[in-house]
Amino acid sequence: MQVWSRDPNSSRLTRNTSPPKLEPRPDSVMAQPTSLHDRFYPIRTTHPSCIQFPSVGEHNFKLKPQFINILPKFHGLESEDAYFFIREFEKLCLIMKIPHLVDDVIRLRFIPFALKDLANK
């Protein structure tokens, strides 16, 4: 079973794989039946994002929709040029200046909005 946890020292995500713990059951106790709700609506789990956002401290900011709308879109198709997308994305991120934020933080905040379909996976 894989469990994701955040390392407190480095703030990185680590995957812990361990065998499932089996508890001995007395023969007289029968397994609890699962309900139809549990069978048809199982618990959904998602993988955490690999993007680590640096702390911005006490400086709050908003991502404005007009900035998100002008971002180039990259779908991850073979017909698209990834280097052209990166060049255009960096150009637009340099134009967007948010007070008290470094350029790398701006890029990290906007990249999820620029990646679509296969590239987002």
- Whole-angstrom distance, CA of residue 23 vs CA of residue 69: 53
The domain limits of the chain are: 65-120
> How far from chain centre, in Å, is Cα 17?
20
Provide DSSP, 16-42: EE-PPP-----TTSPPPPPPHHHHHSP
Per-residue pLDDT tens for 77-119? Answer: 888 888 999 999 999 888 887 777 788 888 888 888 888 888 8
Residues 6+ apart with CB under 8 A from 116: 73, 74, 75, 76
pTM of the model: 0.53
- pLDDT tens digits, 41-87: 777 777 777 777 777 777 777 777 888 888 889 888 888 888 999 99
